């Protein structure tokens, strides 16, 4: 059975001299009684959906079903092509990728819940952008998706990945932590460094509430996918520069869960607090449901 | 501590925007259509709670119609399910309805077939795309559709359950879970039987031909592998 903590994960990877990604593949083969080829093949399907969701809304403007969001991935892509960006082509393109998947999701396109539909933009943006920059292959991307998934399993076991339970920190926070760890292993970092990156990302997003306008996975979710991707990528660099988290990964996950439980229900996906009850959000909600709902 | 697999974390592949309001809705409707069987003429969707309040913004209506057409939760045609239903001459109607003390994401399907007969199925989308069917034609019967499921409507006589379980044994299919519901002793009973492996064609035919079994449905789970 998959280990239950980050500390155990680091130990076993050290002992076997393998990456988190490799450990995760082996555990999945044992669990599902499938061959390596089959397990990797299923992840390849996930990757192909991610490649398409992270690029489609950059190529043409995609509008959500409610009409609330859309066209931002396209705008960001155009902006990146102008070569006048502050944070550089790499980062701006990663942002476009992140929001592309979120826009595709809101427009009833095909995505991979990673770990949820609301946070589906972060991991594809991180993995694909890092792989492009580092000249990695499709198989490298698949391996890093196993790294991300292994970290996600530890978070799911000890905390939660659901916004309704833990707020946005549990969804977008976990996605970004998983992405940061995956990027670190892709750069050749150790399992310890990967979990350091995951811990730093989670600490930096700790307490983020889930407050969707009109209850839809659009505002502020889509832009939080951008923020998560940026945090994951910059933190991978931090950790590769030998910066470590003062608080170990397991304790940060524990804190994240505790904070999530302390959030009032209004701030956990019920659309009754935070951004969702601002005057503008209320107005948008009325407009959407006046037009769209006839029941 | 729950045991998670890799694809519980990364997945499912689905049409957005919501695993509960879109992917789960499509799965519910797909199972409801299998239960109804035959050629469907009209479906009335009675939407409860959150389903009634937010169905348009989440595309729940499109997902439900897609499921009735047999589409999977990751099929991109989900978005155009209304026109596909029109082409097939299937009428659909959405009604907000308080279904009582049930999960907020609950729908009751009233399915009318071309031969005039009708079937009612009620179920909930319980999160992460997972579902629970809990009522068929007024009879309480609980199953999740995560495992291959056999639903029988049979005469409540001694030995019927044993006949069915013997067939499964002979076909090397292990029973994971089994529930029997009946309206009264010696009358008709409903059984939901979940198995560990896919129900073979041979097993299906043999159960169908069991004398006391009036009606049987086989629901094999939707596997992403078929994509």
pLDDT at B223: 60
- Judged by a CB distance cut-off of 8 A, whether residue B13 touches chain A is yes
- Band of the pLDDT at B222, cuts 50, 70, 90? low
Convert the pLDDT of each residue in B124-150 to its tens digit. Answer: 998 878 899 999 999 899 999 888 999
pLDDT at B226: 47
Q: In the beta sheet, which residues pair with residue B218?
A: B150
Query: What does pTM read for this prediction?
Result: 0.90
Residue A242 token pair: 């030998």
- Closest-CA residue to A145 (of A24, A16, A231, A3): A24
Residue A144 token pair: 């890093």
Which three-class secondary structure state does DSSP give residue B11? coil
- Band of the pLDDT at B183, cuts 50, 70, 90? confident
Size of interface A-B (CB pairs under 8 A): 147
- A109 contact residues in B (CB cutoff 8 A): 15-16, 76, 79
Question: What is the layout of strands, in order, in the sheet containing B149-155?
Answer: B175-182, B188-195, B149-155, B213-219
Determine whether the interchain pair A112/B19 forms a contact, defined as Cβ–Cβ distance below 8 Å: no
pLDDT at B1: 67
pLDDT of residue B122 exceeding 80: yes
Nearest to A117 among B2, B18, B56 (CB): B18
Nearest to A110 among B10, B15, B19 (CB): B15
pLDDT at B224: 59
Determine whether the interchain pair B9/A149 forms a contact, defined as Cβ–Cβ distance below 8 Å: yes
pLDDT at B58: 87
CB within 8 Å of chain A, chain B residues 142-161: none
pLDDT at A67: 92
Convert the pLDDT of each residue in B97-107 to its tens digit. Answer: 999 999 989 99
- Judged by a CB distance cut-off of 8 A, whether residue B78 touches chain A is yes
- Judged by a CB distance cut-off of 8 A, whether residue B12 touches chain A is yes
**CA-to-CA distance for B63 and B68, rounded, in angstroms?**
9
**CA-to-CA distance for B159 and B175, rounded, in angstroms?**
17
Distance from CA of A237 to the nearest CA of B (A): 24
Task: Return the H-helix or E-strand segment holding A132.
Answer: helix A122-133
pLDDT at B227: 47
**CA-to-CA distance for A132 and B192, rounded, in angstroms?**
50
Beta strands in chain A (DSSP E): 110-112
pLDDT at A289: 80
pLDDT at B48: 94
Nearest to B7 among A27, A42, A116 (CB): A42
Determine whether the interchain pair A31/B5 forms a contact, defined as Cβ–Cβ distance below 8 Å: yes
Q: How far is the CA of A141 from the CAs of A15, A22, A124, B167, in angstroms?
A: 24, 13, 10, 46
pLDDT at A103: 98
Determine whether the interchain pair B10/A4 forms a contact, defined as Cβ–Cβ distance below 8 Å: no
Torsions phi, psi for B131 (to 5 deg)? -130, 165
For chain A, which ranges sit under pLDDT 70?
291-295
pLDDT at B127: 80
DSSP string, A141-188: HHHHHHHHHHHHHHHHHHS---HHHH-HHHHHHHHHHHHHHHHHHHTT
């Amino acid at each position: 059975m998959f280990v239950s903590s980050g500390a155990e994960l680091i130990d076993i990877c050290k002992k076997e001299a393998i990456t988190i990604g490799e450990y995760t593949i082996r555990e999945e083969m044992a669990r599902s009684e499938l061959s390596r080829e089959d397990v990797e093949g299923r992840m390849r399907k996930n990757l192909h959906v991610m490649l398409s969701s992270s690029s489609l809304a950059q190529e043409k403007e995609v509008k959500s079903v409610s009409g609330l969001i859309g066209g931002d991935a396209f705008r960001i892509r155009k902006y990146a092509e102008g070569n006048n960006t502050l944070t550089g082509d790499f980062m701006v393109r990663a942002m476009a990728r992140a929001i592309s998947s979120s826009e595709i999701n809101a427009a009833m396109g095909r995505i991979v819940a990673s770990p949820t539909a609301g946070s589906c933009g972060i991991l594809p943006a991180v993995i694909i952008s890092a792989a492009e920059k580092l000249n990695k292959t499709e198989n490298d991307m698949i391996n890093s998706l196993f790294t991300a998934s292994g970290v996600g399993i530890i978070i799911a076991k000890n905390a939660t990945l659901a916004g309704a339970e833990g707020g946005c920190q549990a969804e977008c926070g976990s996605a970004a932590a998983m992405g940061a760890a995956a990027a670190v292993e892709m750069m050749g970092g150790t399992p310890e460094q990967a979990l350091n990156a995951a811990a730093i990302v989670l600490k930096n997003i700790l307490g983020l509430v889930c407050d969707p306008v009109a209850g839809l996975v659009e505002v502020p979710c889509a832009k939080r996918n951008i923020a998560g991707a940026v945090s994951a990528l910059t933190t991978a660099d931090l950790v590769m520069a030998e910066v470590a988290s003062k608080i170990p990964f397991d304790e940060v996950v524990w804190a994240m869960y505790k904070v999530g439980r302390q959030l009032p229900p209004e701030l956990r996906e019920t659309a009754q607090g935070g951004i969702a009850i601002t005057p503008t959000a209320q107005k948008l909600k009325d407009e959407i449901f006046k037009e769209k709902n006839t029941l | 501590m729950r045991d998670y697999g890799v694809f519980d974390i990364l997945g499912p592949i689905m049409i957005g925007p919501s695993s509960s309001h879109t992917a789960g809705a499509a799965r519910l409707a797909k199972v409801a259509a299998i239960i109804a069987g035959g050629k469907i003429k009209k479906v009335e969707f009675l939407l409860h709670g959150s389903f009634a309040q937010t169905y348009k913004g989440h595309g729940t209506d499109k997902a439900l119609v897609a499921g009735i057409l047999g589409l999977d939760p990751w099929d991109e045609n989900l978005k155009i399910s209304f026109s596909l239903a029109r082409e097939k001459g299937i009428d659909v109607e959405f009604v907000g309805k308080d279904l009582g003390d049930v999960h907020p994401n609950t729908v009751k399907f009233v399915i009318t077939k071309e031969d005039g007969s009708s079937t009612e199925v009620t179920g909930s989308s319980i999160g992460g795309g997972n579902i629970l069917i809990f009522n068929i034609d007024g009879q309480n019967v609980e199953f999740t559709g995560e495992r291959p499921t056999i639903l029988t409507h049979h005469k409540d006589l001694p030995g019927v359950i044993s006949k069915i379980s013997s067939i499964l044994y002979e076909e090397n299919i292990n029973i994971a879970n089994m529930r029997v519901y009946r309206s009264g002793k010696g009358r008709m009973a409903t059984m939901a039987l979940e198995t560990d492996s896919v129900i073979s064609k041979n097993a299906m035919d043999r159960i169908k031909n069991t004398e006391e079994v009036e009606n049987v449905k086989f629901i094999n789970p939707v596997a992403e592998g078929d994509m």
